[in-house]
Amino acid sequence: MAIKTEPFVLNLGPVHPSTHGVYRMRVTLDGEVVVDIEPVVGYLHRGIEKLAEERTYTGVIPLTDRLDYISSMSNNLAYVLAVEKLAGIKVPERAEYLRVIMAELQRICNHLIAVGSFFNDCGAYFTPFLHMYREREKIIDLFEMVCGQRLTYNYMRIGGVSQDIPEEFLPALEKLLEQIHRSVDEFDLFLKENEILLARSRGVGILTKEKAINCSITGPVLRASGVGWDLRKADPYSVYDRFEFDIPTGSAGDCYDRYRVRIEEMRQSLRIIEQAVKQLPSGPVKAEVPHLVRPPAGDAYAHIESPKGELAVYLVSDNSIAPYRCHIRPTSLLNLSALRDMVIGWKIADLIIIFGSIDICLGEVDR
């Protein structure tokens, strides 16, 4: 005899440890099974795009730090690339290499957090997470060495970077690369075939190739679904065309593949940094750019492969000292657009894992 059940509406968030910020989902449940979800966003909306219209071109850089605040370097990079494209500014070689080194270190930082918090969501409370945070701390120490900040770096400038690296940076980086290499191998050894991880994430939250492309999904989530699309290779910006690296992809498009892709990407980032350090030329780190940049009227679109996916800035200039319009492509928001289809039919505990495996940052979702 079937028991009569009624749908139950649960408000998950906005203040909930598993929503990684202030994301809210209205989840309709049938028993434990998810029937429908309705995302509610905007709790962290600060109007960054509007604020940008009131500031000078250089003054917008600190605002971009506050988008995806765990990978500020990448946000800086996307924005300054757009301004440089708009104004036709050429960046010195050394600055390009420094940008690549910072962006790749930032990718490792981001993936450490992404993988760590994914394990939190799986129920391995804070043991893997703190091990990964330990490694991230070391990278942040290096960032502090170059720009004095530990979270909102504000390091890139229009036409280069704010300052050259100090003498002790390269030896410290070399030591760090070796440590991270070892730690990533160690994490992988412990976690790759962990039975609980396999049981919880294999075959869970499958995202097909076609769906991912149609939903404008990018980054590790897209690559885990088997699409080898990485802007560093597909549309190389800065000096990425000078490095050898692979694009890790998954095949099943489940939570496990997304975890695997991130681990492999950390290894590839280490490879890029090693090559960049070897090729690092000497010279100036900032082009001669006037204090108040006045790009000619027009528009420009620049995109980079940020740790979470395609981060793009669309700038419109009216030949004044402030952007007329500054649109930021929200990677995290778009990566969530397939969430509903990925979670329907799964249990609520799986919803948390699937959501965690996408790796979003609410600073970027809401802007």
Partner 1 sequence: MTLALSGKEVAAKLEQKFADSIIEVNKDSLLVKSESLLELISFLKTSPEFRFDFLNTITAVDYLEYFEVVYHLTSMEHNHSLVIKTRYYGRENPAVPSIVSLYEGANVQEREIYDLMGIRFENHPNMKRLFLWEGFQGHPLRKDYL
Cα within 13 Å of Cα(135), Cβ side:
29
In the complex, the smallest distance separating the C-beta of residue 130 from partner 1, rounded to whole angstroms, is: 34
Task: Report if residue 242 touches partner 1, rule: CB under 8 A.
Answer: no
**Residues in binding contact with partner 1, number by CB under 8 A:** 34
State yes or no: residue 333 binds partner 1 (CB under 8 A): yes
CB 191 to partner 1: min, Å: 31
Task: Quote the CA–CA distance of 235 and 238 in Å, as a whole number.
Answer: 10
Which tokens hold the place of 16?
Answer: 């909930």
Select the residue interacting with partner 1 from 324, 344, 348, 349 (CB under 8 A).
324
53 vs 93, beta carbon nearer partner 1: 53
Closest contact distance (angstroms) between CB of 350 and partner 1 is 22
Centre a 10 Å sphere on the Cβ of residue 46 and count the other Cβ atoms it contains. 13
Among 213, 239, 247, 277, binds partner 1 (CB under 8 A): 213
Q: 132 near 187, Cβ under 8 Å?
A: yes
- CB of 360 vs partner 1, minimal distance in Å: 13
First to last CA, the chain: 51
Stretch that binds partner 1, among 25-33, 47-55, 132-140, 271-279 (CB under 8 A): 47-55
By beta-carbon proximity to partner 1, the closer residue of 165 and 300 is 300
One-character DSSP codes across 123-180: T--SHHHHHHHHHHHHHHHHHHHHHS-SS----EETTEESSPPPTTHHHHHHHHHHHH
Distance CA 27, CA 62 (A): 36
Q: Which of 86, 142, 215, 221 binds partner 1 (CB under 8 A)?
A: 215
Q: Which stretch binds partner 1 (CB under 8 A): 10-18, 25-33, 289-297, 329-337?
A: 329-337
State the nearest-atom distance from the C-beta of 209 to partner 1, in Å.
Answer: 10
d(CA 321, CA 334): 31
Out of 142, 312, 342, 354, the residue judged to bind partner 1 by CB under 8 A = 312
Q: Is 131 in the site for partner 1 (CB under 8 A)?
A: no
Give DSSP secondary structure letters for 299-363. EEEEEEEETTEEEEEEEEE-SSSS-SEEEEE-HHHHHTTTHHHHHTTSBHHHHHHHHHHH---HH
Q: Does 41 bind partner 1 (CB under 8 A)?
A: yes
Beta carbons of 77 and 156 less than 8 angstroms apart:
yes
Interacting residues with partner 1 between 136 and 165 (CB under 8 A): none
Q: Which of 107, 136, 303, 308 binds partner 1 (CB under 8 A)?
A: 303
Instruction: By CB under 8 A, tell whether 42 contacts partner 1.
Output: yes
Q: How open is the CA angle 328-104-314, to the nearest 5 degrees?
A: 15
Rule CB under 8 A: say whether 94 interacts with partner 1.
Answer: no
User: Is residue 45 a contact residue for partner 1 (CB under 8 A)?
Assistant: yes
Q: Is the peptide bond before 296 cis (omega within 30 degrees of 0)?
A: no
Considering only the stretches 66-74, 90-98, 125-133, 206-214, report the one whose residues sit in contact with partner 1 under the rule CB under 8 A. 206-214
Complex with partner 1: residue 247 or 280, whichever CB lies closer: 247
Nearest to 164 by CA among 97, 82, 65: 97
184 within 8 A of 267, measured Cβ to Cβ: yes
Residue 225 in 3-state DSSP?
A: coil
- Looking at beta carbons only, is 183 or 337 nearer to partner 1? 337
* Whole-number Å distance between alpha carbons of 313 and 27: 33
Which is nearer to partner 1, 47 or 148 (by Cβ)? 47
Query: Interacting stretch for partner 1, rule CB under 8 A, among 66-74, 233-241, 242-250, 276-284?
Result: 233-241
Binding site for partner 1 (CB under 8 A): 41-42, 45, 47, 49-50, 211, 213-217, 227, 229, 234-236, 299, 301, 303, 310, 312, 314, 316, 324-325, 327, 329, 333-334, 336-338, 366
